[in-house]
Every structure is written in C-alpha cells, then in structure tokens.
C-alpha cells in the first residue's frame, strides 16, 4: 500500500488561527478555542495525559471498547450492512481505532479526520503497517465542520471517542452532530464516547494531575501562539486552573494571569490584569438520558448504550436516517 497522503482542508489554518486568537483575547472574558491545543506537541501531551492514573476517562473507555466492538460487529452483521467504512473525528494518535478494526471483519476503508497534520500522518502510517489490506485516508480538517467525502455505497460508521464532544457547548455539540450527519450521509451510524456526571473529587484529580502534565498541555497553547503568531507570552506569568462548575455541568480549564502585564500577538497588544484568566477549555459531563435527548434534537436516534462499571463512562451508538 502507498504511504498515507493527506487530504488537506481548503481553509487557510494560519490566518484562521490568528483571527480566532485575537478575537478570543480581545473579548471579555478572554477565551481561546480548545482545538488549537492539538499541534504536534499538544497532541503528545494529551497522549501523556491519557496514560495518567488520574485520567479515568481514557481507562474506562478503553476497558469498555472491546465489548462495544464485539457488539457493533454483531449488530452490523445482523442488519446485513457490510461493507463498511469507519470515519474517525478528531483521530489524534489513533490509539483506540485498532480495537474496532480487529473486531469488524467487513471493513474496507478507514478515514481519519484531525486538525494536527504531522501527528495524523505519523499515526496513519503506523496504522497502515499493521492493516495492509485496509485503505486509509487521512484528512487534515477541523472535524467540527462538515467534510465532503467521496461518494460511496458503503455503510459509514462515525467514531468519536474520548468524550471530545464534551469540549463543545450544548449548542456546538448539536451543530457537530448535524455536521457529522452531513459528512457521513443518510443511514449512517455514529459511535460516540460521553463522560458521565460524577463526584467533584474524581473530576478534580483528573484535570489537576499530580505530575503537572495537564498544566503543560494547557500552557502549550501559549507556546504555539508565540511560535506561529509572533507572540511573546511568558509561560511563568500564567498558572493552570481547572475546576468543576456544577451549575453548568462542566469542568473548566483556565490560564490565570499571575501579574498585570501586556502581551503582543500578531502585532496587537493584549493587556492582562493580575488574576484575569483565559478560558481555554470546557469538558461537559452528561447523564445518559441528557445526551440521548441532545442527540435526538440533532436528528440522531440512540440504537444502543454501553456503560462502564460504576457508570464512569458511556458509549452510545447513534443512527441517522436522513
């Protein structure tokens, strides 16, 4: 098989990055889109986070996925719907897709969508060496937006693990689900990981790990701005701050300014007061019934639901009739 050749999005990522950063930093309160965490370095930091014992999401989902993959293969076979194409949104390091690939015998094509080009290409090349009969297409694209895939008679199954949908607000999550339906087409399925509501103590440990990896991941967005947008952030002037907002049902991550100072970004000067924060990420948590209703409002029905022990994590199989 030929080496992975990426399909590139038609957008200009550098200019979009600058526009989004300036818009966020010139707003009140300040904020940055979390999709920009995931350059090559940020993606590697996130891989480190997944290996931390405190980060229950990854471990709970990984234990649940073999059961899900077995059930999914049986579900598809019973409906006589092979051959299949899997489309992973926010593919990252592709650590979890192998569980599905090994379980589903009628898989012909795998499409991986991610915003981090270098990380995506490396991961797809590794995957190609393990699954030589599988056609693998990496797409460098913002997975929250629709993507025109090649016409296909295959049944498409979207794969969106890791509770990444929790990084989106409720309205953004509904928009993603609508866009995913447009990308995948009528009669498609979506296998999606969703983190559940749980005790604040468990959440605090997961997002404030003892080794400080999450803090480095959070601050990496400032390093990226320095490198790509001619910024002059001093990382030591900001502290990682993560907490559970019970009213909103989400963990919030912020970068809090430790002193009053100014920062230059893309030729613009941004003022920070001591204690002022940049809101960098949310991670919404859902009861299974809440997510089922959210998906329904976006045009998806829930075919099956799997729960990890102690209801720590949920995986839903959604269907879009179109």
Cβ neighbors of 310 (< 8 A, separation 6 or more) are: none
Q: How far apart are CA 300 and CA 220, in angstroms?
A: 35
Helix (H) or strand (E) holding 184: helix 170-184
Domains of the chain, earliest start first: 4-8+11-143+151-212+291-322 (3.40.50.150)
Q: Lowest mean pLDDT of 45-54, 78-87, 93-102, 141-150, name the range.
A: 78-87
Q: What pLDDT does 2 receive?
A: 42
Angle between helices 213-229 and 40-50 (to 10 degrees): 170
Q: Lowest mean pLDDT of 62-66, 82-86, 239-243, name the range.
A: 82-86
pLDDT-based confidence at residue 282 (cuts at 50, 70, 90):
very high
Flag whether pLDDT at 12 surpasses 60: no
Question: Which has more pLDDT, 11 or 322?
Answer: 322
The mean pLDDT of the chain is 92
Q: What pLDDT does 175 receive?
A: 97
pLDDT digits (tens, 9 = 90+) for 223-253: 999 999 999 999 999 999 999 999 999 999 9
Taking alpha carbons only, the member of 71, 85, 65 closest to residue 192 is 65
Residue whose pair of structure tokens reads 């953004």 in the numeric block: 172
Taking alpha carbons only, the member of 211, 283, 202, 278 closest to residue 241 is 278
Taking alpha carbons only, the member of 66, 318, 41 closest to residue 194 is 318
CB 145 within 8 A of CB 13: no
Mean pLDDT of 172-195: 96
* Strand-pair partners of 85: 109, 156
Q: What pLDDT does 5 receive?
A: 56
Q: What pLDDT does 291 receive?
A: 98
Mean pLDDT of 95-119: 87
Question: Which has more pLDDT, 107 or 5?
Answer: 107
CB 250 within 8 A of CB 166: yes
Dihedral sign from CA coordinates of 121, 123, 129, 134: negative
Flag whether pLDDT at 91 surpasses 90: no
Mean pLDDT of 162-179: 96
Residue 266 phi, psi dihedral angles, 5° rounding: 55, 35
Mean pLDDT of 272-290: 98
DSSP per residue, 234-268: -GGGEEEEEEEETTTTEEEEEEEESS-EEEEETTE
Flag whether pLDDT at 286 surpasses 60: yes
Residue 284 phi, psi dihedral angles, 5° rounding: -75, 140
CB 245 within 8 A of CB 204: no
Q: Lowest mean pLDDT of 73-77, 110-114, 149-153, 298-302, name the range.
A: 149-153
Q: What pLDDT does 11 receive?
A: 47
Q: What pLDDT does 8 receive?
A: 62
Residue 308 phi, psi dihedral angles, 5° rounding: -70, 165
3-state secondary structure of 110: strand
pLDDT-based confidence at residue 105 (cuts at 50, 70, 90):
confident
pLDDT-based confidence at residue 10 (cuts at 50, 70, 90):
very low
Mean pLDDT of 148-168: 89
pLDDT-based confidence at residue 4 (cuts at 50, 70, 90):
low
Q: What pLDDT does 13 receive?
A: 52
Taking alpha carbons only, the member of 20, 94, 42 closest to residue 215 is 42
Residue 25 DSSP symbol: H
């Amino acid at each position: 098989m030929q080496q992975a050749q990426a399909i590139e999005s038609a957008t200009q990522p550098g200019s979009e990055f600058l526009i989004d950063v300036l818009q966020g930093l010139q707003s009140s309160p300040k904020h940055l889109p979390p999709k920009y965490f995931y350059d090559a370095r940020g993606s590697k930091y996130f891989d480190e986070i997944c290996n931390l014992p405190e980060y229950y999401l990854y471990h709970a989902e990984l234990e649940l996925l073999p059961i899900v993959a077995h059930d999914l293969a049986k579900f598809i076979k019973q409906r006589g719907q092979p051959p299949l194409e899997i489309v992973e949104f926010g593919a990252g390091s592709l650590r979890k897709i192998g569980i599905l690939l090994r379980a589903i015998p009628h898989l012909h094509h795998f499409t991986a969508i991610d915003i981090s080009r270098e990380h995506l290409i490396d991961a797809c090349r590794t995957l190609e060496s393990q699954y030589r009969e599988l056609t693998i297409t990496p797409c460098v694209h913002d997975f929250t937006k629709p993507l025109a895939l090649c016409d296909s008679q295959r049944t498409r199954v979207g794969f969106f693990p890791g509770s990444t949908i929790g990084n989106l607000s409720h309205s953004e999550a509904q928009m993603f689900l609508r866009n995913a339906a447009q990308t995948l087409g009528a009669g498609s399925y979506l296998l999606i990981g969703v983190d559940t509501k749980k005790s604040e103590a468990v959440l605090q440990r997961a997002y404030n790990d003892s080794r400080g990896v999450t803090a480095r991941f959070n601050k990496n967005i400032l390093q990226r701005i320095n490198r790509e947008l001619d910024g002059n952030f001093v990382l030591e002037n900001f502290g990682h701050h993560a907490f559970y907002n019970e009213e909103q049902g989400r963990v919030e991550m912020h970068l809090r300014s430790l002193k009053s100072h100014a920062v230059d970004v893309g030729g613009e000067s941004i003022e920070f007061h001591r204690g002022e924060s940049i809101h960098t990420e949310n991670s919404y948590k859902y009861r299974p019934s809440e997510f089922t209703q959210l998906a329904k409002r976006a045009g998806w029905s829930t075919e099956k639901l799997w729960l990890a022990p102690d209801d720590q994590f949920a995986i839903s199989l959604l269907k879009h009739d179109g």
